Structure 1
């Protein structure tokens, strides 16, 4: 088979699960959260990088849809707007039942794929969305959220974000606080995937120190190729291997192709994205790499990967480089589904051991100057 035929063959056999897509955020910002004003059955390229004709062309089989709110909503409206983002995802599934199927388990991904549906899951992008409350975290799980990114670009009262690696004066906690470690433990207990994209290197290390379940990076790339603070260093990639987790490669040109000098618009190519995939495979192993495009969360895209229609191009490029059909299947979803299963197994084991919900409250000194938390 040609590389192009190999790509299509693989994506017919197994679901392609993308770790991160911000379509819900685009609907919020461009259509005021009014799903009825959006017709995903037609070409939406004027507004978004995602629509149904293009995702069908791209052979998408599963998607973690991001529930994202900006950092300027931390301590104000983050919980409410995060809930509204989850609601947008569910309304999209309701509006297009012939295409999308809401799932909350690893097994559900395969069931949806077998019915010709795109398995649709929710990832909460940023720990500021829980307002330092374990109860709020649990309620997000109950409505179907299956991963949480511990931070976005801002520190939370319990974890440092990746910009601190660029500027040490931004450090608040030197990684995870004791309460932040409890957040990770509670996510393990519930069966929620711990997402380490966006966090500082020390936060990554602290989370890996205590995680009882495999972790994910839902949309990150390789620091050795592009020295961007959003990317993952080789020593962390080795720890992801030891943790049995996964790094899902981001398509954002700023994370893919670092330039020595600032230019107005960073560009990247499909081949450069493939270089990141290859590097992570070489360091972590082929069982620990996936795809996390960040479509509709990035202002520009790599040449050859302009939208959700273009996923097969990446698989064809890797086939040209000698990737086997079996390894391409792992990249598409085998690795992510394995991680998801293992997270569920840890959850079930804890349930059998009668491990009860954590009840810690964030110490007052971390939130004492926050006007919306006067009752601590």
Structure 2
């Protein structure tokens, strides 16, 4: 086990910290955040973890490896299982299963470092064993392929949060590019099926993640969810008006619903430029605390999922320097404990409690005519619906043929 208090003191050694040494037990909490290392393992090695260059003890060229995790006193990670939007209506489900598999194999290959867990209590257990609590967050609602059955299956495989969209709409939810004007609103937030997805996530005990979604989707989810929600890697819009960030009126709803915003370190979301600083990240934490409350603040990171990072937060080893900055700004020990882990553990625990009280699963599938993709089969949908769709397609084909023979 790491002696956090003494190692931290030996690492930083500022006078302000030595005077607080008796209160330094907050360092025994496991931080939890969003990390895209599995995406790097896919891109660099096609998930071949036994490749000598993929050894996480010696891995180079990434923001994350085991020595950096140790140096940063990282006791917990939500590893992001992510695939881009170009998998939608193609091989999204296959590819997300592979990314979840590589996270499980990380735990199997490095059992002295990682412990895969699926409960809030498991995070505490992992830290007591001196291991990095490893959880799975699925980044992108397109990865469930508009299927409640796939949603449930991913839960059984360890998914404990789902980001409702990535950088594209799903057939049932709108993404942040709608607010930017680059995408058209299709569901005006959440469709009726999208609302059923939320209800099923509440029933299962899957945290609803609103990073990457449109403001209307944020509002719908915050109003509909029976449990607190999270923004797994988003910052404050008032400080950097990027549409991936959270505006103040939504932060007020975060406060009312006891939800959580975990600050993203991507420079473009921190300073709205390629250059940012650790101090500016702390400004975002300050602002969210001011508007939504100290219990609404967390650390999102987004290491290995972004390119430009703030000066002073170049990789996962730098987390202690950010905590030092918060202490310099007179954050209390309780508030720091919250940022590190307690706020996330509270939300996770409340999501689990809501799950225990909801028994009947959602079963009504998305209407077939709301799905895209030419390679879909229609099994399970009514014969009338299938016939209607087939007749519709036939009429379109006939109309095209007639136009080609007799152009207007």
Give the TM interval when normalised to the shorter protein: over 0.9
State the match for 2:289 in structure 1. 281
1:66-215 correspondence to structure 2 within 5 Å? 66-167=80-181, 170-215=184-229
Higher relative contact order (CA 8 A, sep 6+): 1
1: CA distance between counterparts of 2:300 and 2:168?
A: 21
State the match for 1:371 in structure 2. 374
Find 1:333's aligned residue among 341, 345, 362: 341
Kindly indicate whether the alpha-carbon contact (under 8 Å) linking 1:220 and 1:248 is maintained by their aligned counterparts in 2.
yes
5+ residue gaps, structure 1, are 260-265
State the match for 1:262 in structure 2. none
Find 2:280's aligned residue among 272, 275, 285: 272
Matched residue SS, 1:292: strand
Find 1:230's aligned residue among 241, 244, 260: 244
1: CA distance between counterparts of 2:377 and 2:342?
A: 46
State the match for 2:6 in structure 1. none
Alignment TM-score, normalising by the size of structure 2: 0.86
What is the CA-CA distance between 1:112 and the residue it aligns to? Answer: 0.5
What is the CA-CA distance between 1:48 and the residue it aligns to? Answer: 0.8
2: CA distance between counterparts of 1:277 and 1:115?
A: 30
2: CA distance between counterparts of 1:243 and 1:13?
A: 28
Matched residue SS, 2:135: strand
Question: Are 1:362 and 2:366 counterparts?
Answer: yes
What is the CA-CA distance between 1:298 and the residue it aligns to? Answer: 0.4
Matched residue SS, 1:79: helix
**Larger mean Cα displacement after TM superposition, 26-35 or 165-174:** 165-174
State the match for 1:322 in structure 2. 330
What is the CA-CA distance between 1:364 and the residue it aligns to? Answer: 2.3
2: CA distance between counterparts of 1:186 and 1:330?
A: 28
1: CA distance between counterparts of 2:16 and 2:159?
A: 36
Kindly indicate whether the alpha-carbon contact (under 8 Å) linking 1:3 and 1:317 is maintained by their aligned counterparts in 2.
no
Matched residue SS, 2:301: coil
State the match for 2:310 in structure 1. 302
User: In angstroms, what is the RMSD of aligned CA positions?
Assistant: 1.5
Question: Are 1:39 and 2:43 counterparts?
Answer: no
What is the CA-CA distance between 1:241 and the residue it aligns to? Answer: 1.0
Matched residue SS, 2:365: coil
The structure that has the greater radius of gyration is: 2
2: CA distance between counterparts of 1:61 and 1:236?
A: 30
State the match for 1:65 in structure 2. 79
2: CA distance between counterparts of 1:89 and 1:275?
A: 33
What is the CA-CA distance between 1:365 and the residue it aligns to? Answer: 2.6
5+ residue gaps, structure 2, are 1-13, 382-408
Render the CA deviation track for 1:246-268: whole Å, top value 9, x for unaligned.
Answer: 00000000100025xxxxxx111
Matched residue SS, 1:356: coil
Render the CA deviation track for 1:43-65: whole Å, top value 9, x for unaligned.
Answer: x3x42100010100101011000
Render the CA deviation track for 1:196-240: whole Å, top value 9, x for unaligned.
Answer: 000000000011111001100000000000000100011111101
Render the CA deviation track for 1:286-329: whole Å, top value 9, x for unaligned.
Answer: 01110010000001211000000000111001111111111100
What is the CA-CA distance between 1:170 and the residue it aligns to? Answer: 2.0
Q: Give the count of matched residue pairs.
A: 362
State the match for 2:64 in structure 1. 50
1: CA distance between counterparts of 2:158 and 2:224?
A: 24
Alignment TM-score, normalising by the size of structure 1: 0.94
